[in-house]
Amino acid sequence: MKPPDLILTPRGLRCPGRILPCAIGRSGLCGDKREGDGATPCGTHTITGCLYRPDRLPAPGPWAVATRPGDLWSDDAARPDYNSLVRTPHTGSHENLRRPDPLYDIVLLTDWNLCPATPGRGSAIFVHQWRKPRHPTEGCIAMRRDHLIWLAARAAPGTRLIIPQVPSLG
């Protein structure tokens, strides 16, 4: 059975039977994503995985992978491991996947700029928990913790994340 599509609308992320309020990048939507621009890339993306913090919550689904201390995400466009999961020690620019705050307690990974990653085109476009309601991200999609747990339990690898240039009210 094909997983349901997730579609970004001005009201939130439309899922089967629900619209989940969400936040996008501080620079809005864009068709030409660049590393550090703060924009959320438009297009049809695919959910490729789910990471979660096992010391803070149970696995949201059977396909979720526990993060470990030392798990990082490389956002260093000059390195061959750009836009991928890496481990410490890592000398290049990166994001810590086990943050002191709860933002990355659950992360849905997308296929943005993968296989192969084009340096400077943007990395780490995740669906993760927001800081506060509708607070902009660095380019990811963020939502309430309970909504993210609900979504992670229903999404699967292959779920399409559709981010239109001009979202419909859905």
Give the model's pLDDT for residue 1. Answer: 65
Whole-angstrom distance, CA of residue 87 vs CA of residue 67? 11
Phi and psi dihedrals of 32, rounded to 5? -135, 70
Contacts of 139 (CB under 8 A, 6+ apart): 25, 27, 33, 37, 38, 39, 40, 41, 122, 124, 125
| pTM score of the predicted model | 0.94
3-state secondary structure 108-162: EEECCCCCCCCCCCCCCCEEEECCCCCCCECCCEEECHHHHHHHHHHCCCCCEEE
Structural domains of the chain, with CATH: 6-163 (2.40.440)
- Greater confidence (6 vs 169) lies with 6
Rounded distance, CA 141 to CA 111, Å?
14
Dig out the tokens for 19 from the structure.
């619209």
Q: Cβ(56)–Cβ(98) under 8 Å?
A: no
Question: pLDDT digit string (tens) for 36-91?
Answer: 999 999 999 999 999 999 999 999 999 999 999 999 999 999 999 999 999 999 99
pLDDT of 38 reads 96
Contact between 43 and 66 under an 8 Å Cβ cutoff? The reply is no
Quick one: tokens of 170? 């859905």
- Span 15-24, pLDDT tens digits: 988 999 999 9
DSSP characters over 33-64: --TTS-PEEPEEEEEEEEEE-TTTS--SSTT-
Res 93: pLDDT: 95
Which residues are within 8 A (CB) of 76 and not within 5 positions of it... i.e. 6 or more apart? 82, 92, 93, 94
